[in-house]
Amino acid sequence: MLRLIVRDLLVPGSVPFLLLAMAAGVAALHIGPRARKWGRIWLTALLGSYWLMSTAFGAGWLEDWIDGGYAPLVDVEAAADIDAIVVLSGGGNTFRNSIYEINTPGPHTAFRTLETIRLQSMLPEALLILSGGIGDPQGLARPESEIMRAELLRAGVPEARMALETNSRNTHEQALNVAAMLHALDVRAFVLVTSAAHMRRALGAFRAQGLAAVPSVASTTSTEMPAPRWPWLPSAGALYRSRAVMRETLALVYYQQQGWLDQQP
Protein backbone atom coordinates (compact mmCIF):
# COMPACT_ATOMS: atom_id res chain seq x y z
CA MET A 1 0.00 0.00 0.00
CA LEU A 2 2.82 2.39 0.88
CA ARG A 3 4.44 1.70 -2.51
CA LEU A 4 1.22 2.70 -4.30
CA ILE A 5 0.88 5.87 -2.23
CA VAL A 6 4.43 6.93 -3.11
CA ARG A 7 4.02 6.01 -6.78
CA ASP A 8 0.67 7.76 -7.23
CA LEU A 9 0.99 10.75 -4.90
CA LEU A 10 4.56 11.46 -3.80
CA VAL A 11 6.67 11.56 -6.96
CA PRO A 12 8.20 15.04 -7.40
CA GLY A 13 7.15 16.45 -10.74
CA SER A 14 3.66 14.97 -10.59
CA VAL A 15 0.46 16.97 -10.20
CA PRO A 16 -0.59 15.20 -6.95
CA PHE A 17 2.78 15.99 -5.36
CA LEU A 18 2.51 19.62 -6.47
CA LEU A 19 -0.97 20.03 -4.99
CA LEU A 20 -0.06 18.33 -1.70
CA ALA A 21 3.11 20.40 -1.39
CA MET A 22 1.21 23.60 -2.16
CA ALA A 23 -1.42 22.69 0.41
CA ALA A 24 1.30 22.24 3.04
CA GLY A 25 2.84 25.60 2.16
CA VAL A 26 -0.47 27.46 2.20
CA ALA A 27 -1.35 25.86 5.54
CA ALA A 28 1.94 27.08 6.99
CA LEU A 29 1.06 30.64 5.93
CA HIS A 30 -1.93 30.58 8.28
CA ILE A 31 -0.37 29.00 11.37
CA GLY A 32 1.84 31.72 12.80
CA PRO A 33 4.70 34.14 12.07
CA ARG A 34 7.47 31.54 12.22
CA ALA A 35 5.55 28.98 10.17
CA ARG A 36 4.57 31.77 7.75
CA LYS A 37 8.26 32.43 7.05
CA TRP A 38 8.95 28.77 6.30
CA GLY A 39 5.76 28.56 4.27
CA ARG A 40 6.96 31.38 2.00
CA ILE A 41 10.36 29.68 1.60
CA TRP A 42 8.69 26.35 0.87
CA LEU A 43 6.32 27.76 -1.76
CA THR A 44 9.11 29.75 -3.42
CA ALA A 45 11.32 26.65 -3.60
CA LEU A 46 8.41 24.63 -4.93
CA LEU A 47 7.75 27.17 -7.69
CA GLY A 48 11.42 27.29 -8.64
CA SER A 49 11.90 23.51 -8.70
CA TYR A 50 8.77 22.88 -10.77
CA TRP A 51 9.70 25.66 -13.18
CA LEU A 52 13.15 24.12 -13.67
CA MET A 53 11.78 20.59 -14.06
CA SER A 54 9.30 21.87 -16.64
CA THR A 55 12.02 23.24 -18.94
CA ALA A 56 13.98 21.31 -21.56
CA PHE A 57 17.20 22.38 -19.81
CA GLY A 58 16.06 21.05 -16.43
CA ALA A 59 14.74 17.78 -17.82
CA GLY A 60 17.95 17.21 -19.78
CA TRP A 61 20.10 17.92 -16.72
CA LEU A 62 18.16 15.42 -14.62
CA GLU A 63 18.40 12.76 -17.34
CA ASP A 64 22.16 13.31 -17.64
CA TRP A 65 22.44 12.97 -13.86
CA ILE A 66 20.82 9.53 -13.75
CA ASP A 67 21.60 7.99 -17.13
CA GLY A 68 24.73 6.12 -16.03
CA GLY A 69 26.61 6.92 -19.23
CA TYR A 70 24.73 4.38 -21.34
CA ALA A 71 24.31 5.02 -25.06
CA PRO A 72 22.64 3.51 -28.13
CA LEU A 73 24.39 0.53 -29.67
CA VAL A 74 26.05 1.58 -32.94
CA ASP A 75 28.92 -0.89 -33.41
CA VAL A 76 27.72 -3.65 -35.72
CA GLU A 77 30.82 -5.75 -35.09
CA ALA A 78 30.25 -5.63 -31.33
CA ALA A 79 26.72 -6.98 -31.94
CA ALA A 80 27.83 -9.83 -34.20
CA ASP A 81 26.91 -12.55 -31.69
CA ILE A 82 23.58 -11.04 -30.62
CA ASP A 83 20.67 -13.49 -30.78
CA ALA A 84 17.83 -11.28 -29.56
CA ILE A 85 16.72 -7.74 -28.86
CA VAL A 86 14.70 -7.38 -25.64
CA VAL A 87 12.52 -4.28 -25.48
CA LEU A 88 10.96 -3.11 -22.21
CA SER A 89 7.77 -1.10 -22.57
CA GLY A 90 7.20 2.12 -20.66
CA GLY A 91 3.49 2.86 -20.59
CA GLY A 92 0.56 3.25 -22.92
CA ASN A 93 -2.94 4.68 -23.24
CA THR A 94 -6.37 3.33 -24.12
CA PHE A 95 -9.09 5.57 -25.52
CA ARG A 96 -12.49 4.00 -26.03
CA ASN A 97 -16.17 4.60 -26.46
CA SER A 98 -19.06 2.15 -26.70
CA ILE A 99 -18.10 0.87 -30.15
CA TYR A 100 -14.36 1.34 -30.68
CA GLU A 101 -11.00 1.40 -28.91
CA ILE A 102 -7.71 3.11 -29.76
CA ASN A 103 -4.47 2.07 -28.06
CA THR A 104 -1.37 4.26 -28.27
CA PRO A 105 2.14 3.94 -26.81
CA GLY A 106 3.19 6.34 -24.09
CA PRO A 107 6.24 8.54 -24.80
CA HIS A 108 8.77 6.11 -23.32
CA THR A 109 7.26 3.13 -25.13
CA ALA A 110 7.20 5.09 -28.39
CA PHE A 111 10.87 6.05 -28.21
CA ARG A 112 11.88 2.51 -27.19
CA THR A 113 9.95 1.20 -30.19
CA LEU A 114 11.80 3.63 -32.45
CA GLU A 115 15.12 2.40 -31.06
CA THR A 116 13.99 -1.17 -31.72
CA ILE A 117 13.24 -0.33 -35.36
CA ARG A 118 16.75 1.12 -35.70
CA LEU A 119 18.36 -1.94 -34.11
CA GLN A 120 16.29 -4.33 -36.20
CA SER A 121 17.66 -2.73 -39.35
CA MET A 122 21.18 -3.34 -37.94
CA LEU A 123 20.43 -6.89 -36.79
CA PRO A 124 17.69 -8.21 -39.10
CA GLU A 125 18.16 -11.83 -37.96
CA ALA A 126 17.78 -11.10 -34.25
CA LEU A 127 14.59 -12.15 -32.49
CA LEU A 128 12.62 -9.25 -31.00
CA ILE A 129 11.24 -9.97 -27.53
CA LEU A 130 8.68 -7.31 -26.61
CA SER A 131 8.01 -7.19 -22.89
CA GLY A 132 5.17 -5.39 -21.16
CA GLY A 133 1.74 -6.19 -19.81
CA ILE A 134 -0.89 -3.80 -18.47
CA GLY A 135 1.12 -1.63 -16.12
CA ASP A 136 -1.71 0.76 -15.22
CA PRO A 137 -5.18 -0.78 -15.64
CA GLN A 138 -6.77 2.62 -14.93
CA GLY A 139 -5.46 4.01 -18.21
CA LEU A 140 -4.67 0.96 -20.32
CA ALA A 141 -6.74 -2.00 -21.47
CA ARG A 142 -4.23 -3.78 -23.71
CA PRO A 143 -0.72 -5.13 -22.98
CA GLU A 144 1.96 -2.62 -23.86
CA SER A 145 3.90 -5.29 -25.77
CA GLU A 146 0.95 -5.66 -28.16
CA ILE A 147 0.96 -1.90 -28.75
CA MET A 148 4.66 -2.07 -29.59
CA ARG A 149 4.05 -4.98 -31.94
CA ALA A 150 1.41 -3.00 -33.83
CA GLU A 151 3.87 -0.14 -34.39
CA LEU A 152 6.66 -2.50 -35.44
CA LEU A 153 4.36 -4.19 -37.95
CA ARG A 154 3.45 -0.76 -39.31
CA ALA A 155 7.18 -0.11 -39.74
CA GLY A 156 7.57 -3.29 -41.79
CA VAL A 157 9.15 -5.56 -39.18
CA PRO A 158 8.15 -9.19 -39.91
CA GLU A 159 5.80 -10.62 -37.29
CA ALA A 160 7.72 -13.91 -37.42
CA ARG A 161 10.70 -12.10 -35.85
CA MET A 162 8.70 -11.08 -32.76
CA ALA A 163 7.85 -12.81 -29.50
CA LEU A 164 5.67 -11.17 -26.86
CA GLU A 165 5.73 -11.20 -23.07
CA THR A 166 2.35 -9.79 -22.01
CA ASN A 167 1.99 -10.47 -18.28
CA SER A 168 4.55 -8.23 -16.54
CA ARG A 169 3.45 -5.15 -14.64
CA ASN A 170 6.86 -3.77 -13.65
CA THR A 171 10.59 -4.11 -14.34
CA HIS A 172 11.08 -6.90 -11.81
CA GLU A 173 8.39 -9.02 -13.46
CA GLN A 174 9.78 -8.21 -16.90
CA ALA A 175 13.18 -9.56 -15.85
CA LEU A 176 11.62 -12.73 -14.40
CA ASN A 177 9.37 -13.43 -17.39
CA VAL A 178 11.89 -12.55 -20.09
CA ALA A 179 14.59 -14.63 -18.37
CA ALA A 180 12.33 -17.68 -18.64
CA MET A 181 11.75 -16.95 -22.33
CA LEU A 182 15.46 -16.50 -23.04
CA HIS A 183 16.34 -19.76 -21.32
CA ALA A 184 13.61 -21.61 -23.21
CA LEU A 185 14.85 -20.18 -26.52
CA ASP A 186 18.50 -20.85 -25.58
CA VAL A 187 19.36 -17.18 -26.18
CA ARG A 188 22.80 -16.37 -24.80
CA ALA A 189 23.53 -12.83 -25.99
CA PHE A 190 20.93 -10.08 -26.26
CA VAL A 191 20.53 -6.32 -26.47
CA LEU A 192 18.37 -4.63 -23.85
CA VAL A 193 16.39 -1.59 -25.00
CA THR A 194 14.96 0.93 -22.58
CA SER A 195 15.30 4.61 -21.69
CA ALA A 196 18.62 5.90 -20.34
CA ALA A 197 17.16 6.75 -16.93
CA HIS A 198 15.67 3.26 -16.64
CA MET A 199 18.70 1.32 -17.91
CA ARG A 200 20.58 1.03 -14.60
CA ARG A 201 17.61 -0.55 -12.84
CA ALA A 202 16.74 -2.74 -15.82
CA LEU A 203 20.28 -4.11 -16.16
CA GLY A 204 20.43 -4.77 -12.42
CA ALA A 205 17.10 -6.61 -12.51
CA PHE A 206 18.30 -8.83 -15.37
CA ARG A 207 21.68 -9.47 -13.71
CA ALA A 208 19.77 -10.64 -10.65
CA GLN A 209 18.35 -13.37 -12.93
CA GLY A 210 21.84 -14.35 -14.08
CA LEU A 211 21.63 -12.47 -17.39
CA ALA A 212 24.10 -9.94 -18.79
CA ALA A 213 22.71 -7.71 -21.51
CA VAL A 214 24.24 -5.31 -24.01
CA PRO A 215 22.52 -1.96 -23.32
CA SER A 216 21.10 0.26 -26.04
CA VAL A 217 19.24 3.30 -24.78
CA ALA A 218 16.29 4.95 -26.46
CA SER A 219 16.04 8.70 -26.86
CA THR A 220 13.57 10.81 -24.89
CA THR A 221 13.19 13.52 -27.55
CA SER A 222 12.43 13.50 -31.25
CA THR A 223 15.20 14.21 -33.75
CA GLU A 224 14.92 16.54 -36.73
CA MET A 225 12.16 18.51 -35.06
CA PRO A 226 12.12 22.27 -34.40
CA ALA A 227 13.83 23.32 -31.18
CA PRO A 228 11.58 24.68 -28.40
CA ARG A 229 10.64 28.26 -29.19
CA TRP A 230 11.05 29.33 -25.55
CA PRO A 231 13.38 26.75 -23.91
CA TRP A 232 13.20 28.42 -20.50
CA LEU A 233 9.41 28.33 -20.38
CA PRO A 234 7.64 25.32 -18.86
CA SER A 235 6.26 22.56 -21.08
CA ALA A 236 4.29 19.42 -20.34
CA GLY A 237 6.77 17.26 -22.22
CA ALA A 238 9.75 18.45 -20.19
CA LEU A 239 7.88 17.97 -16.92
CA TYR A 240 6.97 14.42 -18.01
CA ARG A 241 10.66 13.65 -18.55
CA SER A 242 11.65 15.14 -15.18
CA ARG A 243 8.91 13.23 -13.39
CA ALA A 244 10.20 10.01 -14.96
CA VAL A 245 13.66 10.66 -13.48
CA MET A 246 12.19 11.35 -10.03
CA ARG A 247 10.10 8.19 -10.23
CA GLU A 248 13.12 6.19 -11.35
CA THR A 249 15.17 7.47 -8.40
CA LEU A 250 12.51 6.29 -5.96
CA ALA A 251 12.17 2.97 -7.82
CA LEU A 252 15.92 2.33 -7.58
CA VAL A 253 15.78 2.74 -3.81
CA TYR A 254 12.76 0.44 -3.57
CA TYR A 255 14.33 -2.26 -5.76
CA GLN A 256 17.53 -2.17 -3.72
CA GLN A 257 15.56 -2.62 -0.50
CA GLN A 258 13.65 -5.54 -2.03
CA GLY A 259 16.87 -7.23 -3.16
CA TRP A 260 15.75 -7.24 -6.79
CA LEU A 261 18.98 -5.77 -8.18
CA ASP A 262 22.44 -7.15 -8.79
CA GLN A 263 24.70 -4.10 -8.55
CA GLN A 264 27.75 -5.72 -10.13
CA PRO A 265 28.47 -4.54 -13.72
pLDDT digits (tens, 9 = 90+) for 236-245: 889 999 999 9
Q: Are residues 24 and 118 in the same domain?
A: no
Q: Are residues 43 and 87 in the same domain?
A: no
pLDDT(265) > 70: no
* Residue range 211-240: mean pLDDT, rounded: 85
The answer to whether residue 162 is domain-embedded is: yes
Q: Across the chain, what does the average pLDDT equal?
A: 91
The answer to whether residue 137 is domain-embedded is: yes
Model pLDDT, residue 230: 73
Q: Are residues 140 and 210 in the same domain?
A: yes
CATH number of the domain where residue 189 is located: 3.40.50.620
Which of 180, 200, 220 finishes a domain?
220
* pLDDT single digits (tens) 157-195: 999 999 999 999 999 999 999 999 999 999 989 999 999
How sure is the predictor about 153, in pLDDT bands with cuts at 50, 70 and 90? very high
Q: Are residues 75 and 173 in the same domain?
A: yes
Report field, pTM of the whole predicted structure over 0.85: yes
pLDDT(233) > 90: no
Determine contact, residues 141/94, Cβ cutoff 8 Å: yes
The answer to whether residue 99 is domain-embedded is: yes
pLDDT(101) > 80: yes
Q: Are residues 37 and 111 in the same domain?
A: no
pLDDT(2) > 70: no
How sure is the predictor about 1, in pLDDT bands with cuts at 50, 70 and 90? low
- The residues, any chain, with a CB within 8 Å of residue 81's CB and separated by 6 or more, are 188, 189
The answer to whether residue 31 is domain-embedded is: yes
How sure is the predictor about 210, in pLDDT bands with cuts at 50, 70 and 90? very high
pLDDT(15) > 60: yes
Q: Are residues 80 and 142 in the same domain?
A: yes
Domain span at residue 21 reads: 2-53
**Number of structural domains the chain divides into:** 2
Q: Are residues 18 and 112 in the same domain?
A: no
Model pLDDT, residue 3: 72
